A and B are shown apart, each in its own frame.
Chain A
Amino acid sequence: MNVTGIIFANDGTVSALTEKRTMASMPFGGRYRQVDFALSNLACAGIHRIGIVTRHNYQSLMNHVGSGEEWGLEMEEGGLEYLTPFSSSHTSDYRGKLESLYAAMTFLEYGPQDELVVMIDSAILSNIDLTKVIASHMESGKDITLVTKKGIADGNKQLDLAVKLDQNGNPIDITVDYAASADYEASMDIFVLSKKWLIQQVKEHIAHNLYHMDRDLVLGLWQKGEATLNIYSFDGLAMYNESVEEYFANSLSLTHKEIRADLFGRNHPVYTKVRDRVPTYYGENCKIENCSVADGCMLGGAARNSVLFRQVTIYPGAEVENCVIMNDTVVHEGCQLRNVILDKDVTVRPGTQLIGTPTRPIIIKRGEVV
């Protein structure tokens, strides 16, 4: 069965961190961008025709993903396509996923119609075997397969889409943009659908000025009894990076062995753009404890419970704790940083003190000197 993958690059924002980039190109875990997880999930399931739907700020994304070579997507047939917005007399910016799919109709309609489409977002990270999800979809004979995760809904967290299941795993309630209670399963924003059916639905929805994937297509059709829903409940790790707080906590959780094992080793490797940095040098007086460290760093000072991206420099006498420090950032002598997210290319001048809290980390924007 031929499968086309579609990645949505702009879903949600994480305050200052996504000012100049998409959610997809948010750096994560020392050497990755969030889209790497979605791309690796698709590519490792043998899906080699992938469209990335982008809305704005997609330069960093294109720079990172390029031709998709790292994921084996540099191909003559299929491979990677960027589905960037284009305006015509009756379209402007997308209001929802269905509009962006409508704009990408040429991409969708290409090739045989008896194919499947896997749609995946970039803010929920997992290492999932999509061949199993696809098999479950085919076996179920339902219109839509939705991947869900137990234990995310808690009555507080706002969820795009959540489902309540009966004992047989069939949905008995669906909520959209709602803080569903703990007996609901949260959508992982991964869908499998038949291409023919999807194309037809997109056209009909747009014709009726309906554009919201979760509300109009999933909830709407299900309520009217016009679509059947197959639920694939994923038993692995799913990281929801939908707010600064979540992003920060999930980043720091990479210091836990089980989390690393699940996210990077559950089913397949996670590929990313190769940067060819040298191994990290640990200086004579450095003190590194409980840290995730990428290549190319120069570590002279102290770091605890932190995630250090590529080419970070920490000078002797600097102290870093509970921090996420992105590429090429330099922390000078005598600095004290606690609960801080430092974006790329930041310079922290000697003796600077920055103290945030675990739920309200201080964010220093890309390229700033503090």
Chain B
Amino acid sequence: MYFQKKRCIAMLLAGGQGSRLKVLTQNTAKPAVPFGGKYRIIDFPLSNCVNSGIDTVGILTQYQPLELNEYIGNGQPWGLNKSHCCAQVLPPYERHDKKSGWYKGTANAIYQNIAFIERYDPEYVVVLSGDHIYKMDYAEMVEFHEKNGAACTIAVRDVPLEEASRFGILNTNPDGSIYEFEEKPKEPKSTNASMGIYVFNWQVLREFLIADEEDPKSANDFGKNIIPNLLSAGHKLMAFTFNGYWKDVGTIDSLWEANMELLGKEPAFNIRGEEKSRIFARNNALPSSYIDEDASTVGCFIAEGSEVYGAVRHSIISTGCTIREGALVEDSVVMPGCVIESGAIVRHAILGENSLISRGCVVGGAFAPQDKKKISVTGKDTVMEPNTVLLPGEMM
């Protein structure tokens, strides 16, 4: 097979469990978690790639890959199913010399797929993670990387000082070059947080991946090993500042918040945006939504294929949901295929895909100021018996 040389390809790390999303990722990999009514988290980095002109994407899967694999399929929704480009799912595999098996860390995952990358003989490899919501033109970052002659460029964003100790912090010189990387520092020296988006010169990365694999003490992780090793070897690393919306949706609270930030007349994250930054998603072939005579729909997103007979306020109703008469949904994220029966009340909740909230159920409640973050969550395919209660902050 003859592969076309590519200037730049992307590797998308989509194998993490996302254990902090609890019941939502019990049987689903985090990148496959639904978001914003008709998307899944992975649609964001994938669409960004396409919108940035990157047409070859390796997707590294490991944890509960069934749904994710099915969702990515042949890459058709993102236009990555053509003869000159691809969205290639790369699961861990067994090798004759036992140098393979489960991905031990982010760097090891790329290491195990050196052969995939080599087929395209790229100058640059963009390494992304599958758990962030944002729109970004990676082409700008690659230009920046090339112009500065760096071995590696890391996207950073300014975070509040009090939050900086939760992130990997990059300390930079006035010219934007990085002199130090600190993982979750107790006393941060700067507020440049790594966004987990890297551009590497492939030849340099390749060398360091192989060396890292030889080191038995290494955690085989980009943040912990590869970046510090590049720095101590004297390579030029640059920080690329990104000012747009970016959200790590790794926790229940942040996932709920990010969904809510889509709402409003001037939303924090305007998902509509321009034509060139459109987010693509696999389509469900469902008809338009239907809003009944007695329904009330205020300050919310309602996706195609949903039928609303009850009241929806300040919520996200995803594709194919039914909200029956007399039901109330408020400040909640209702994932695809849920049914909320008559008289049920859902407030400050995330309902996993295909949850059935039977008549008379009460899920979550109002927030008192002191317990602001008490989101109630149901896992995928949950069936709540009639007239049962799920307290604020509870999960099932």
Contacts and interface: CB of A to CB of B under 8 A. Distances in A.
B313 to A, nearest CB: 9
Residue from B299, B316, B318 whose CB has the most chain A CB atoms within 10 Å: B299
Nearest to A273: B283
Nearest to A284: B299
B293 A293 contact: no
Contacts of B76: 69
A296 B263 CA distance: 13
Interface string B21-55: 00000000000000011100000000000000000
Interface string B309-330: 0001000111000000000000
A279 B297 contact: no
> In terms of DSSP, what is the predominant structure of the interface of chain B?
loop
Nearest to B296: A287
Interface in A245-294: 254-255, 257, 260, 263-264, 269-272, 274, 276, 278-286, 288-294
A288 B291 contact: yes
A295 interface: yes
A290 B293 CA distance: 4
B283 A283 contact: no
A282 B298 contact: yes
B279 A276 contact: yes
Interface stretch (B145-153, B300-308, B352-360): B300-308
A79 interface: no
A33 interface: no
Contact of B281 (A276, A280, A281, A282): A276
B283 A279 contact: no
B289 interface: yes
Contact of B291 (A278, A285, A290): A290
B122 interface: no
Contact of A293 (B37, B263, B302): B302
B83 to A, nearest CB: 12
Contacts of A29: 287-288
A51 interface: no
B278 interface: yes
A69 B75 CA distance: 13
A289 B265 contact: no
B272 interface: yes
A137 interface: no
Given A286-B298, A289-B293, A295-B303, A279 B77 contact: no
A361 interface: no
Contact of B38 (A31, A269, A279): A279
Residue from A30, A279, A284, A286 whose CB has the most chain B CB atoms within 10 Å: A279
Interface in A304-330: 307-308
Contact of A279 (B285, B287, B298, B301): B301
B122 to A, nearest CB: 28
B299 to A, nearest CB: 5
A263 B288 CA distance: 12
A280 B287 contact: no
Nearest to A274: B283
Contacts of A288: 291, 295, 297
B303 A31 contact: no
Contacts of A291: 290-291
Given A29-B288, A270-B287, A274-B77, A279 B279 contact: no
A283 B290 contact: no
A263 B286 CA distance: 11
B304 A282 contact: no
A255 B285 contact: no
Interface string B145-168: 000000000000000000000000
A30 B288 contact: yes
Given A278-B271, A278-B272, A295 B298 contact: no
Contacts of A270: 285, 287
B299 A295 contact: no
B280 interface: yes
Contacts of A286: 297-298
A122 B198 CA distance: 51
B292 interface: yes
How many residues of A sit at the interface, in one of the four size bands? Answer: 35 or more
Contacts of B295: 288-289
A272 B284 CA distance: 10
A29 B287 CA distance: 8
Interface in B320-342: none
Nearest to A295: B304
A276 B278 contact: yes
Nearest to A298: B272
Contacts of B292: 289-290
A144 B292 CA distance: 44
A269 B299 CA distance: 30
Contacts of A278: 36-38, 271-272, 279, 301
Nearest to B285: A269
A290 B265 CA distance: 24
A272 B283 CA distance: 10
B77 A31 contact: no
A27 to B, nearest CB: 12
B265 A283 contact: yes
B36 A279 contact: yes
Interface in A117-158: none
A280 B287 CA distance: 13
Nearest to B287: A264
A291 to B, nearest CB: 5
A88 to B, nearest CB: 36
Contacts of A254: 288
A124 B263 CA distance: 39
Contacts of B318: 279
Contacts of B304: 31, 279, 294-295
Contacts of B77: 274, 276
Given A276-B279, A279-B302, A282-B300, A293 B285 contact: no
Given A288-B291, A289-B292, A294-B288, 15 more contacts: A29-B288, A274-B77, A276-B281, A278-B272, A280-B289, A281-B300, A282-B302, A284-B298, A289-B293, A289-B295, A291-B291, A293-B288, A294-B304, A295-B288, A295-B304
Interface of A: 29-31, 69, 254-255, 257, 260, 263-264, 269-272, 274, 276, 278-286, 288-296, 307-308
13 contacts: A31-B287, A254-B288, A269-B286, A271-B285, A272-B285, A276-B283, A278-B272, A278-B301, A279-B304, A281-B263, A286-B298, A289-B294, A294-B288
Instruction: Give 9 nearest A-B pairs by CB, closest first.
Output: A30-B288, A279-B37, A279-B303, A269-B285, A279-B301, A282-B297, A290-B293, A264-B287, A274-B283
Interface of B: 36-38, 76-77, 263, 265, 271-272, 278-281, 283, 285-295, 297-304, 312, 316-318
